[in-house]
Amino acid sequence: MSKRRNHDAAFKARVALEALKGEKTASELATAYGVHPTMIHQWKKALLEGATDIFERGAKKKAEIDEGAVRDLHAKIGELAVANDFLSRKLKPWTGK
């Protein structure tokens, strides 16, 4: 009995894209990559079903903003602005402006 192999996502995507091209049959791809034809059909199906999620998630990621992080960053900007003003006033005697 052979040991189960775990293939990385890049390998699965490459094989599934080749299967989608249709230049070779699933059996030919299976012998070329050393996997079972059923796996190629499953990866191809998963690729086709998940293709729409790629574009939907990209739009959602831009809309999802961590409000707490934004508040913290605004507070840091305020602190730096106060420090910058303070230092610019203290440096005026030395710069001659």
Task: Please report, for residues 9, 14, 29, 51, 54, the alpha-carbon distance to residue 18 in angstroms, rounded to integers and kept in the order given.
Answer: 14, 6, 8, 15, 19
Task: Give the start-to-end residue ranges of the domains of the chain.
Answer: 1-64, 65-97
Contact between 29 and 40 under an 8 Å Cβ cutoff? The reply is yes
Helices (H), the chain: 9-21, 26-33, 37-63, 67-95
Query: pLDDT grade, residue 2 (50/70/90)?
Result: low
pTM for the structure as a whole: 0.55
Q: Which of these CATH numbers, 1.10.10, 2.50.20, 1.10.287, 3.40.50, describes 1-64?
A: 1.10.10
Q: What is the DSSP letter of 22?
A: T
Q: Residue 54: what pLDDT?
A: 76
Mean pLDDT, range 68-74, rounded to an integer: 91
Contact between 31 and 45 under an 8 Å Cβ cutoff? The reply is no
